[in-house]
Amino acid sequence: AEVYSPAGIACDRLVDELRLYLQAHPEQSGFYRPILGALAVVAGVDLGQAGETNRAVSYFELALEIRPQDHYMRANLAVILNLLGREDEALAHYDAIVNTPGVAVNPLIWVQAARLHAERGHTERAHALLRACVPLLPDAGDIHRFLSEMEKLAIVDLAEPEPGPSN
């Protein structure tokens, strides 16, 4: 398959070509490696949207290797792993995001992490993650019901200060 065609650019092929180039010319990796990471994210998104989730995972993993602090990419990888039923791996990526000091609460990520923790019986952890979402989603009935369920299941003293997301 071609990198360039009338239909557009095949980013996955471009990533593959750039990887081959860098294997042959490692002295160029200082310049091209960040570009490779950005292209790998685009290729992962394209493949995910095309339903090629297993291939998308490999490109997101490459991007994560190059840009380990990129939460956007890590969240995309977690979503796809979750869709593939690789929930333990997805949870590890969600936790890497929510446990990052100073990271802003993103309810989409926090709720998914809470759901996976709840399914594993980590109700106190799920409760803490959901509590962090409430101020951002005051009218989200589903989250409030989920939070109430976790409050019933978790041994939580609500009189104590709220635990942070890195509980």
Tell me the DSSP string of 103-133: PPP-HHHHHHHHHHHHHTT-HHHHHHHHHHH
Q: Which of 52, 90, 55 is nearest to 74 (CA)?
A: 90
pLDDT in tens, 54-111: 999 999 999 999 999 889 889 989 999 998 999 999 999 999 999 999 999 888 899 9
Q: Residue 90 has what pLDDT?
A: 96
pLDDT, greater one: 60 or 167: 60
Contact 35, 43 (CB under 8 A): no
Q: Are 147 and 130 in contact (CB under 8 A)?
A: yes
Token code pair at residue 166: 């890195």
Whole-prediction pTM: 0.75
CA distance 134 to 131: 5
Across the range 34-58, mean pLDDT stands at: 92
> Which bin fits 106, alpha (ψ -120 to 50), beta or left (φ > 0)?
beta
Does position 166 have pLDDT exceeding 70, yes or no? no
107 within 8 A of 143, measured Cβ to Cβ: yes
Encode burial over 119-137: b for 16+ CB neighbours within 10 A, e otherwise: eeebbbbbbbbbbbbeeeb
Of the two residues 54 and 167, the one the predictor is more confident about is 54
Identify the pLDDT of residue 14.
93
Query: What percent of the chain stands above pLDDT 70?
Result: 87
In this predicted structure, what is the pLDDT of residue 9?
81
- 41 closest CA partner among 26, 56, 52: 56
Q: Two tokens at 74?
A: 């890590």
pLDDT band at 160 (very low <50, low <70, confident <90, very high): very low
Which tokens hold the place of 65? 């290797």
pLDDT tens readout for residues 2-14: 777 777 788 899 9
pLDDT band at 159 (very low <50, low <70, confident <90, very high): very low
